[in-house]
Amino acid sequence: MMKEKGLEVVYREEISQDEFDKVYADYEAVIVRSNVKVRPVRGRGNLRLIVRAGVGLDNVDVSGFTKLGVKVLNTPGAVTRAVAELTVGLMISLARDIPRLATDLKSGRWSKAQAHGVELAGKTIGVIGCGRIGREVARLARAFGMRVLVNDLIEIPRDFLQEIGGHQVDLETLLKESDFVSVHVPLDPSTKNLIGEKQLRLMKRTSYLINTSRGDVVNEEALKRALTEGWIAGAALDVFSKEPPDDTELLRHPRLIPTPHMGAQTAEAQRAAGVEAARLVIEELSTRPA
């Protein structure tokens, strides 16, 4: 796509942080995912544009590059459906205890008598962060017959709340009333450890927490205590404060379903993110003077 527009393209499937730091300023535009941190260690150089093929920008020093006159963009719309569908998949897995029962059967144990699941219909989901992904999760939850509560710093449009039959509430109310709490906020100083001991203790003992946003939004030490001491019934994490995670106590907890930051890892989402990133590069380099 970019080559067809006369752009020279250098593709690297894998690159170390040190190597990336040495070469990024040689290019007019770079497209990255989450495997490297993009920081202005060599200043601007030839760089005019950074595109993060995905949702978050927490691995890019946006402020630093903006001061240098480098535009920073991402492709949030491309992965919305994939992350939302994984969220619902994790919710169902928690509700029906699917991973444990599947593992038991593979090990030769017929655990039908221990299968005590719950249905989503009639339950309340609390969606924290009502951007593209949060809204799609709310729509899917509504299709399952769930009551929807949403929480965001901004006022949610009335027509969307009417569409999902939902209500915008404060965080404390959401945590107290929800059977499932799903987190969909960007990582910044205001959201780091947004869900800690205080918030987990507000949740029902029968409720579940799902985080497919960023690892540091949930305090993992507090979550371990919540799971071990039964403050909540269970949790599912697709993201961790350190990736790959090395906290085996958390990863092996019987009340946790961990997945390897796979929210955007569908063929459709990856292609859409790549196409959108390429479009942004073509548009920027063809319209901005060197």
CA–CA distance, 270 with 217 (Å, rounded to integer): 24
Q: Which of 132, 255, 261, 276 is catalytic?
A: 261
Q: Which of 81, 214, 255, 276 is catalytic?
A: 214
The bridge status of strand 256-258 relative to strand 234-237 is parallel
Has 184 been annotated as catalytic? no
Q: Say which residues have a Cβ less than 8 Å from residue 66's Cβ, sequence separation at least 6.
A: 72
Has 243 been annotated as catalytic? yes
CA–CA distance, 103 with 19 (Å, rounded to integer): 41
Q: Which of 119, 243, 268, 283 is catalytic?
A: 243
Contact 48, 28 (CB under 8 A): yes
CA–CA distance, 59 with 214 (Å, rounded to integer): 11
Has 261 been annotated as catalytic? yes
Q: Looking at the annotation, which residues are catalytic?
A: 214, 243, 261
